[in-house]
Amino acid sequence: MGTPFQGMIQDLKGRSQYYKHDWSFAASSGLSILAPTFYIFFASALPVIAFGEQLSRETDGSLSTVETLASTAICGIIHSIFGGQPLLILGVAEPTVIMYTYLFNFCKNTPQLGAKLFLAWAGWVCIWTALLLVLLAIFNACTIISRFTRVASELFGMLITVLFFQEAIKGLIAEFRTPENEDPSAKQFRFQWRYTNGLLAIIFAYGLLVTALKSRKARTWRYGTGWLRGFVADYGAPLMVVFWTAVSYMPPDRLPEGVPRRLLCPLPWEPASLYHWTVVKDMGKVPFVYILAAIIPALMIAGLYFFDHSVASKMAQQKEFNLQKPSAYHYDIFLLGIMTLICGLLGLPPSNGVLPQSPMHTKSLAVLRRRLMRKRVVKSAKECVRLQRTRSELYGKIQAVFIEMDAAPTVKEMETLKKAVMKPDSKDGAKDNLDVVKNIDEYIPVRVNEQRVTNLMQSLLVGVSMLSISVIKMIPTSVLWGYFAYMAIDSLPGNQFWERILLLFITPSRRYKILEGSHASFVEKLPFKTIAAFTGLQLAYFLICFGVTWIPVGGILFPLPFFLLIILRERLLPRLFIHSHLQELDASEYEEAIGAPHGDHTVPLLEKDSDGGESEDDYDAEILDEMTTNRGELKLRTISFHRKHRGGGAGEDRNFQVSPEDASRT
């Protein structure tokens, strides 16, 4: 574990030398920095609004969208200025909402506390949580984060997915019922209007789900210009929320007010919202026993935050992004403790690092950097072509641009570029040089615009959006239920646990279809029985985890099975499975074999160039989309085992499909 404070000191040393650069570098990008800012703002604000509505239902309105937005804005601003890794995005997330729901129910059922002292008691929970987080940071606990393997993180992801679905279904059913605390004799709660409201809810929720899922894939559409497709793909979900909100105003005026139902939340300057500024005063009223008891939920929350925050940070800093600045895991956990304390005292639900927004943030900054670099490289390369310079001069120019742009290319990267530029098969000098320019795209190294401005600005935007709560209130609740379902479905692809569950249901004669597409390498390398046994075990464990969340008060212990998993993974699993199998199924990276039909990406690019009609900007995002899972993990593309094995040309490969038996035998 090392000596106390060691990790934090190292983090601070590492980041402080870049602190000034973090600000100045952003300035050099100019206005183009706005694109990732808005992208990440919409990606993080929408779930926060949805979680606010969920929290408002579960806590009888004690907390609502105002508080979740406030927490996200405050923590985001603090983190972007004082945080270690500015690529990490913060926000109120589903685990927080679930925990706060348990806390509220506990208070409501405990006469000494009551719903009135809920926020005060939650304040005490936050104090304990903050203390625990600070201790974890001091004692360098982040070194153990690697023990949370893929299995644990996917189980947790699956639990969140199922809880999202549960929320969507619960929400939809509620649309057919009279809400609690409402007058059942009001016109809009009479049977016929409740029923109408329910039917409208089904249409809006399903409509949002389908259109949001479709628009997410917009980049691969055949129709529409590249700009439009990119826009729809980047802002699909928020655009569709706006669209369906507009549709929800279409039903005739003869419907009574309140059909369809819309978001219920007080404005930030209304008394209901203002109360949370004075929570500190109430904290003294909490009986001492309950102040002590608050340590139990605090243990769970601290564990969850420690895990979630570190994983989100890790995902934002994956090796393949080639980050140039150091990480700051220990210090960021310390800061998370401080922010949790602040939120607790202000009566706000705390924020932590969120998925998939954090890797999305890095990804969008990589796209930005790539565009800027290409623009410069192509410009100077074209000049070389115009002046009929030789190949080595061209290479020198490109190298100079890379160094000038601070990309610090590695030796290997430069060698690949050199090989590509200097390749011997040049017959027609000028024409060939042009070809080089066209292909240069592949050799631009992946670099990320590492700075603090996008994070700060998106947090400020979240803060500003609190002023427009009256606009946000126009969203029908049913659209949010659809959005919960969207978040659930959207998080499934790329979750290997889910893909393995599906694999169990595929009839043996159809398994070759998996191998035809892109797929994780375990499908080829492991016997089917091993996969089935492992997945069955994981599924059983998952059902236990999900079952725990249903226990009325004990449900608060739901993170326990996940912590337990570390021990099970280290002690039990190695006895049940062969080491190499376990490594394959529980690899720390998402490893994906290239399926036969997915060729390389050179040709469409070339074609686009020769076509000239379309901007290339859009293409970068498309490549990065394909390279990452929906969770934001980068896929490690390995050459398919069978392809390697056969050794023959791709020609033999194309018509070659593997039977699972075949795969297991080898």
Binding residues (CB under 8 A) for its own copies: these are 191-193, 195-196, 199-200, 202-203, 221-226, 251-252, 254-255, 502, 505-510, 512-514, 596-597, 599-600, 602-604, 607-608, 610-611, 613-614, 649-657, 659, 661
Neighbouring C-beta atoms of residue 271, cutoff 10 Å: 7
Nearest to 237, CA basis, from 52, 491, 486, 451: 486
Nearer to its own copies, 180 or 611 (CB): 611
Neighbouring C-beta atoms of residue 433, cutoff 10 Å: 21
The DSSP 8-state label assigned to residue 253 in this structure reads T
For the CA atoms of 30, 31, 37, 42, what is the dihedral angle to 10 degrees? Answer: -170
Three-class SS of residue 567? helix
Nearer to its own copies, 191 or 249 (CB): 191
Nearer to its own copies, 51 or 486 (CB): 486
Q: Name the minimum Å distance from CB 214 to its own copies.
A: 13
Q: Name the minimum Å distance from CB 429 to its own copies.
A: 24
In order, the DSSP letters of 80-107 are HHH-S-TT--EE--HHHHHHHHHHHHHH
CB 18 within 8 A of CB 448: no
CB 195 within 8 A of CB 176: yes
Tell me how far apart the terminal alpha carbons of the chain are, to the nearest angstrom. Answer: 41
Nearer to its own copies, 228 or 471 (CB): 228
Which residue matches tokens 């400020």?
Answer: 460
Q: Name the minimum Å distance from CB 618 to its own copies.
A: 9
Q: Name the minimum Å distance from CB 649 to its own copies.
A: 4
Nearer to its own copies, 493 or 508 (CB): 508
| Spatial distance between the Cα atoms of 660 and 28, rounded to a whole number of angstroms | 53
The DSSP 8-state label assigned to residue 286 in this structure reads S
Nearer to its own copies, 230 or 559 (CB): 230
Nearer to its own copies, 284 or 613 (CB): 613
| Spatial distance between the Cα atoms of 377 and 405, rounded to a whole number of angstroms | 10
Q: Name the minimum Å distance from CB 599 to its own copies.
A: 4
CB 271 within 8 A of CB 80: no
Nearer to its own copies, 508 or 554 (CB): 508
Q: Name the minimum Å distance from CB 300 to its own copies.
A: 38
For the CA atoms of 591, 597, 602, 603, what is the dihedral angle to 10 degrees? Answer: -160
Q: Name the minimum Å distance from CB 591 to its own copies.
A: 22
| Spatial distance between the Cα atoms of 186 and 178, rounded to a whole number of angstroms | 10
Nearer to its own copies, 117 or 200 (CB): 200
Q: Name the minimum Å distance from CB 601 to its own copies.
A: 10
Nearer to its own copies, 424 or 613 (CB): 613
CB 285 within 8 A of CB 117: yes
Q: Name the minimum Å distance from CB 324 to its own copies.
A: 33
| Spatial distance between the Cα atoms of 601 and 623, rounded to a whole number of angstroms | 8
Q: Name the minimum Å distance from CB 642 to its own copies.
A: 13
Residues facing residue 635 across a β-bridge? 590
| Spatial distance between the Cα atoms of 423 and 405, rounded to a whole number of angstroms | 25
- Residue 454 exposure: Cα atoms within 13 Å on the Cβ side: 36
Residues whose CB is less than 8 angstroms from the CB of residue 115 and which lie 6 or more positions away in sequence, other chains included: 59, 60, 62, 104, 107, 108
422: its two tokens: 């200097």
CB 151 within 8 A of CB 13: no
Residues facing residue 593 across a β-bridge? 519, 638
Neighbouring C-beta atoms of residue 641, cutoff 10 Å: 16
Nearer to its own copies, 540 or 603 (CB): 603
Handedness of CA 547, 551, 554, 559 (dihedral sign): positive
Nearer to its own copies, 375 or 510 (CB): 510
Nearest to 440, CA basis, from 321, 319, 597, 616: 616
Q: Name the minimum Å distance from CB 437 to its own copies.
A: 18
| Spatial distance between the Cα atoms of 288 and 291, rounded to a whole number of angstroms | 5
Q: Name the minimum Å distance from CB 457 to its own copies.
A: 32
Nearer to its own copies, 403 or 639 (CB): 639
Q: Name the minimum Å distance from CB 134 to its own copies.
A: 50
The DSSP 8-state label assigned to residue 3 in this structure reads S
With both helix axes pointing from N to C terminus, report the angle between 19-29 and 453-465 in degrees, rounded to the nearest 10: 80
Q: Name the minimum Å distance from CB 660 to its own copies.
A: 8
CB 244 within 8 A of CB 208: yes
Nearer to its own copies, 366 or 658 (CB): 658
CB 356 within 8 A of CB 85: no
Q: Name the minimum Å distance from CB 196 to its own copies.
A: 6
Nearer to its own copies, 35 or 658 (CB): 658
